[in-house]
Chain A
Amino acid sequence: MSLDRARARLEPPAADSIVPRRGRGTELILLMFAIGIATFAYINVDLGALGRVPPNALAYLGGLTAATGVAHVVIRIRAPYADPVILPIVVTLCGLGLAMIHRIDIARETTHATIQLTWMAVGVAMFVGVLIVVRDHRVLSRLPYLAGLAGLLLLVLPLLPVIGHSIRGARIWINVGPMTFQPGEAAKIILIIAFAAYLVQTRDALALAGRRILGIDLPRARDLGPILIVWVAALGILVVQNDLGPSVLLFGIFVLMIYVATERISWIILGLLLIVAGGLAANAVVSHVQTRVDFWLDPFIDPTGQIAQSLYGLAYGGLLGTGLGQGRPELTQISESDFIGSALGEELGLTGLISVILLYALLASRGLRAGLLLRDPFGKLLAAGLAAGFFLQVFIVLGGVTKLIPLTGLTTPFLSLGGSSLVMNWVLVALLIRLSDAARRPVPASSSSSPAADTAVTQVVRIR
């Protein structure tokens, strides 16, 4: 009886008795706020660097408003219960990224910001497309092995002779007509979908079978197969493509998702051991990795001085930053892409950089929150995987830029210059919106109140 009583006390407010607010009005207000910040940043850059208000500020404001307006209207129609804070956070991050790219454009006399703005439009189009085509996230779980195969194919695409293309030593690009594209970004999302679908089928075996040694539940040897395959695949990518980032990210996401699926800490321990083993092996064998570790330990032996410059920039920025347009972020190599974190840290200071990291954290937490609320295991895993992968990527790249961990080539989501990353992150956000809509949509009333629903085996749910 006491157990029952304790349970009654602990029971959360019944999920189906409370409907979350739709929050479309909140979203609209926050979006206007976000667009305001983006335009403010853009004007501030010109004021700081050139001492004038940019002549096309109004056009910029109009363009941003049009793009986000379309996204907002589509959410209203296609995902009315979606989480109201996801889109505003994304628009803020995009705006900060655009302002910083524009700022580096001014210093280097390039026109990357225009390209990035075009890519953002493409990203919004993809966002709209995903929301319209994927009406229910559960259709994504239908073909786990095919999705896994497609993801791996995308990963090896850059290795093919004609279309493959290598930039700065990393062979992760393909030529599509006149443009280049990083298929790895698309592969990331497809592989997360495949992992989620696969783990839903196998998580019981992964969680329950096995022996217990030293308080840790060890999995059976044959259940180790998938994690070992992904590990080998990740190392393979690393060796042949000369790119550390995606392999660490891919393996990290997989380990985190296994952990979420099984709730067994042993998988995290195993994953960390495999990462350490793989890292040590790669450090010994692959020269590229060795250089990265050496530059991490001593940034000054790097001829390009990337990490040293990045640290100088961060120190120059200090607590409050130099102000937008008034630092020297162009001194750091590729500061418009991998090192945009340090460029932001220089001009916005620690205060600004922390706010950016918080925005990422809030976005990831909304993903996890959707995962908690969702009622189907595939959706739960997909939301957790997308959110964890997203935040892991931010950690890996910002950790590298601030010399916490060895630098690995990854983009900073939404901030970095780069079409494929921006577009694919918009797709990722579309999936998160779709998942949060499913999570917050109220349960049909019949299923909870009428006694007949308890006996019925299937439940017919209408999907708009």
Chain B
Amino acid sequence: MSFGRFVLKRSLQGLGVVWGVVTVVFALRFVTPGSAINAVAPLDASQETRQAIAAELGLDQPLYVQYGQYIFDLLRGDMGFSYIRGQEVVGLVFARLPATVELALAASVVAIALSIPLGVLSATRRNQPVDYGATLFSLGGISTPNFWLGIMLILVFAVEFDVFNTSGRGVDVGDVAVSIVGSDPFVGTLLAWLAYITLPAIALGTYFMALITRLTRSGMLDELGKGYVQAARAKGLPNTLVRYKHALRNTLIPVITVLGLQLGTLIGGAVITEAVFSWPGLGTLVIDSINRRDWPVLQGSLIVIGTSFVLVNVLVDAVYAYLDPQVVND
């Protein structure tokens, strides 16, 4: 199978999963206590409003018609209407998505950039102080609840030393990019961005940094003990080349798979990190929707979260297949 065919096949599978996600979210209507209208109508809605909503949603129609209509609406980009907020769900959800993506990217970029070198260092200097330090850090990191870490960061860096903001988003990363060419001072905008994003990104990223450090360390130790590494050394290749070109490359392949699977943890972590830092993303929207019983917004958010997960995993698989052409033939 060629690389292109593999990616196409994975994309189609991904589409199937998205269909499953949509079906589960559609079914959520029916696990709501009370009738399906309760899932949409405000609690104090009048009888007329309820009937109007029921007719509009087609709740008087057979189930398969409702289901077909739901999917058809989604394909047109219609996720329904939030009667509680008086807004289209699509607009609400996509207004919040960039903030969450920004936070998740900031957390994972920093986590990956720091953890892979740390894991390699830890493996190549086994049983030396740096290895003990890295092991201890990664054990603590995977065991610390991120919301608590966030509060502790606020306690130290915002309450004791007033260096960071703890609530909201300030400027977004787009403003920083614009300030490079625009009239706003670049450094000032960058600092304003960092003042808001640093603490939530650390709170969210620490678990991943710890996890990747652990995986990289054990993967590197495995690879360095293998025959091809010894053969490369015996051939006289420099140590750095053997370590970073051969061993590290093979270590990263399983690391990437686990990262794809753990993406759900990253999004779940973002939900609670957003709650701690009042970050205006999808996570706060989800929590808020549940507390206000705004089910259409919850459903829309779940579809976007599930679809993003599938999309990133298809991308991860493509990267994986590119790095390790063997998987294409499996």
The yes or no verdict on A and B being binding partners is no
